[in-house]
Amino acid sequence: MKFYAGVDSGSWTTKAAVIDEEGHVLGTAVTRSGADLAAAAERAYATALANSGRTGDDIEAVWSTGFGRNTIPFADGSRTELDCHGRGVAYYLKGPLVVIDVGGQDAKVIRLDAAGHRLSHRMNRKCAAGTGSFLDEISLRLGIDIGELNALGRGATESLELSSFCTVFAGTELLTLIRSGKRPADLAMAAYRSLVKRIVSMDVLEGRIAATGGVVAYHPIVVELIGAACRGEVVVPPHPQEIGAFGAALAALAACEEHDTSDTAELVQP
Amino acid sequence: MTELASTNALRATMDAYYRSLADAALRKTAPVAWCTSAGPVELLRALGFAVHFPENHAAMMGAARTASRYLPLAHAQGYSQDICSYLTSDIGAYLAGESPLKAYGLERAPAPDVLVFNTNQCRDVRDWFEWYGRELHVPVVGVHSPRSIDDVTESDIDSVTRQLESLVAPLEQVAGTRLDDARLMAAMRASRDAARLWGTCLGTASARPAPLTFFDGSIHMGPAVVLRGSDDAPAYYRTLLAELEQRVENRVAAVPGETLRLYWDGMPVWGRLRALSTMFAEFHTAVVASTYCNSWAFADLDPAEPWRSVARASLELFIARSEAPKERYIARMVKFYDVDGVIFHDCRTCPNNSNTRYGMPGRITERLGIPTLVLDGDVNDLRCFSDEQARTNIEGFVEQLTDARGATSARGSR
């Protein structure tokens, strides 16, 4: 049995995944990216290895993805997160698919055909609205830990709207609502609605939809609201936060298989 | 990337132009007119003006990445961050008392005797020139062109022709000379020849591998913009064309190992021209052609019919057209250059040169079955451009096109 690994160096967190040659996930890890991306990648990889019960010597190849994909010294190759998120989701779900990835710093909509090949992608504009940063900002304004936001939103009873396109303006709107005595639970829900409104305006979201990313992993409300906006079911694949790292591991596996095939092909050429 | 040897000749040509501009301003060898890049420059040349192009001036600041120093100065004057960053760079540089032409002895842009605009590109050029008109107490004249034109009609041409003719008297007054028909015809011939040669140069990129890229074109289009109406422009393009034809014959690639070919619509990101050029080359991807560089190929100028042919050319310009002719134009270019995909630059401060905002990328994909990518950025304001996001977008697009090609050939081999 051969083993492969992927590391997703994201803006907030670095994820790692170890898989076997059939694509089964043996171990994953998530760590803060911080300012030293290479060190974060080392940490995440070491933890994922430990969680998988493997050592570095067992691994055939490690591929990287994420915005820091080119800063990981031990990576044997890299693919963009657009590729790896699509690849990771396509392993679990049959296409055609629309993959929505909501990360800390960006949001992506990736279209895949029936075979899992990418047809197009859209990324958010240079703006925090529609990303995890927006939820962080809102949590700060509400004076709570981001980990409490989803539970807080569950208690919403009044439907409030944040109409602004801009994170700073939305923060100001929030202050106005706080001053007018609105409940934190309703404000939290309003923030989620605002985030989702931004995401669903990135592309036409029809057909089978899958949601991934850290925001999706920790804020199930976002998935429900996307589903409501698109009037359809939104599927969350296993380990949605580490799906990019998983996709990178699958890319490593594919590259090694291709290499093996081409070696063989070379041998049979006249 | 393979550097063009003609770059030396280009540098000499542009240096001579900037020196002549400095001479006109400092030693009063000629009256100075400022002109918009698609303005009636042939008329100005025929009247003996040295012609300065504020758009070129602003692009120099963009390429040198000094624009970011000047933009806030114009914004503080009440010029929004959302309007043309050429305008705000240029006015900001004036307010700072600086100019990229310092190397030619000019502390500021050469003082104008008259400002001449054509609104075929956008309304911003008029506001831009009127700011200087008020500041410097210099006459501002121009052509108020219709915009967003479907088919160019005879009445559109009549209107612009009459406006062009009406510029003659005030410009003669500033120049202190009468318009000489022979000089006008000579300027028209030089413009036409330069435009045709430039168009032919750009057309060489239909070859595989392409001998030049959009990034080369953005630099080498300098004479087609600032030396229209002068014999120096066709002279330069003969040199460039010879080199490009030689490259095509010898299969010399601008991007060694050219694998993918792309088309670029929209403005360059001047402050990242080199970085983007290097990035695409790293991906063995040649951005072989663009709407932008081809916009200065006014091939139908006719010296025998100067006014009407200038009017027609200025109206037929891509940027002056409505969505339908723009879409047809891009479709023609995509087919002619046989590209794998189209990149649309959504230039934050130039809605007129951003063809992303009314569904064009989707329509092009649907019409031609070709993938498109929208890149957010700006011509001069680098605060509107994210290096990381651009890289991921571009690299992701290259992956997508490469994988699609692999899938197609795999299917074909079965």
Could you give the CA distance from residue A86 to residue A101 in angstroms, rounded to a whole number? 9
Would you list which residues of chain B are within 8 Å, Cβ to Cβ, of chain A? 365, 371-372, 374, 376, 384-386, 388-389, 392-393, 395-397, 399-400, 403-404, 407
A80 — contact with chain B (CB < 8 Å)?
Answer: yes
Beta strands in A66-117 (DSSP E): 77-78, 97-102, 107-112
Residue A80 has its nearest CB partner, among B365, B385, B395, at B395
For residue A265, pLDDT over 90 is answered with no
Average pLDDT, chain A: 91
What's phi and psi for A78, nearest 5 deg? -145, 155
A118 to chain B, closest Cα gap in Å? 6
With bands split at pLDDT 50, 70 and 90, how would you rate the model's confidence at A128? low
For residue A144, pLDDT over 90 is answered with yes
Find out whether A103 and A12 touch, Cβ atoms under 8 Å. yes
Could you give the CA distance from residue B239 to residue B223 in angstroms, rounded to a whole number? 12
Find out whether B362 and B320 touch, Cβ atoms under 8 Å. no
For residue A137, pLDDT over 90 is answered with no
Residue of chain A whose alpha carbon sits nearest to that of B394:
A80
**For the segment B329-387, what is each residue's pLDDT rounded down to a tens digit?**
999 999 999 999 999 999 999 999 999 999 999 999 999 999 999 999 999 999 999 99
A9 to chain B, closest Cα gap in Å? 13
What's phi and psi for B374, nearest 5 deg? -105, 125
Mutate to test the interface with B, among A126, A133, A258 (most CBs of B within 10 A): A126
Find out whether B263 and B332 touch, Cβ atoms under 8 Å. no
Task: List CB contacts (< 8 A) between A68 and chain B.
Answer: none
Could you give the CA distance from residue B118 to residue B184 in angstroms, rounded to a whole number? 19
Alpha helices (H) in B229-373, listed in sequence order: 232-250, 273-282, 291-294, 306-316, 323-337, 360-368
Q: Residue B406: how many CB atoms within 10 A of its CB?
A: 12
Residues 6+ apart with CB under 8 A from B135: B94
With bands split at pLDDT 50, 70 and 90, how would you rate the model's confidence at A104? confident
Q: At what angle do helices B306-316 and B154-175 cross, to 10 degrees?
A: 120
The candidate with the shortest Cα–Cα distance to A122, out of B406, B371, B403, is: B371
Mutate to test the interface with A, among B383, B399, B408 (most CBs of A within 10 A): B399
With bands split at pLDDT 50, 70 and 90, how would you rate the model's confidence at A232? confident
Q: DSSP per residue over A124-149, as a string?
A: --SSSTTSHHHHHHHHHHHTS-GGGH
Task: List CB contacts (< 8 A) between A129 and chain B.
Answer: none
Please give the pLDDT value at position A162. 84
Please give the pLDDT value at position B408. 62
- The token pair at B18 is 């900037």
A203 to chain B, closest Cα gap in Å? 11
Q: How many CB pairs under 8 A join A and B?
A: 47
Q: What are A77's strand-pairing partners?
A: A63
With bands split at pLDDT 50, 70 and 90, how would you rate the model's confidence at A183? very high
Length of chain B: 414
Please give the pLDDT value at position B185. 95
Position A55: which residue type?
Answer: T
Which residues of chain B fall below pLDDT 70?
A: 297, 407-414
Mutate to test the interface with A, among B81, B349, B395 (most CBs of A within 10 A): B395
A117 — contact with chain B (CB < 8 Å)?
Answer: yes
For residue A109, pLDDT over 80 is answered with yes
Please give the pLDDT value at position B297. 66
Residues 6+ apart with CB under 8 A from A201: none
Q: Residue A32: how many CB atoms within 10 A of its CB?
A: 11
With bands split at pLDDT 50, 70 and 90, how would you rate the model's confidence at A267? very low
**For the segment B237-273, what is each residue's pLDDT rounded down to a tens digit?**
999 999 999 999 999 999 999 999 999 999 999 999 9
Q: DSSP per residue over B347-361, as a string?
A: ETT-GGG-TTTTSHH
Residue B389 has its nearest CB partner, among A83, A120, A123, at A123
* CB within 8 Å: B400 and A122: no
Quick one: CA torsion of A232, A238, A240, A244, rounded to 10 degrees?
-120
Task: List CB contacts (< 8 A) between B405 and chain A.
Answer: none
- The token pair at B97 is 């008392």
A120 — contact with chain B (CB < 8 Å)?
Answer: yes
Please give the pLDDT value at position B317. 92
For residue A263, pLDDT over 50 is answered with no
- Host H or E run for residue A31: strand A25-32
Task: List CB contacts (< 8 A) between B279 and chain A.
Answer: none
A257 — contact with chain B (CB < 8 Å)?
Answer: no
A71 to chain B, closest Cα gap in Å? 13
The radius of gyration of chain B's CA atoms, rounded to the nearest angstrom, is 21
Number of H helices, E strands in chain A: 9, 10
Please give the pLDDT value at position A129. 67
CA A3 to chain centre: 23
Enter the pTM of the model.
Answer: 0.92
A126 — contact with chain B (CB < 8 Å)?
Answer: yes
Residue A110's SS3 state is strand
* CB within 8 Å: A126 and B386: yes
A50 to chain B, closest Cα gap in Å? 30
Residue A106 has its nearest CB partner, among B365, B389, B397, at B389
* CB within 8 Å: B407 and A117: yes
Mutate to test the interface with B, among A67, A121, A202, A258 (most CBs of B within 10 A): A121
- The token pair at A105 is 């710093």
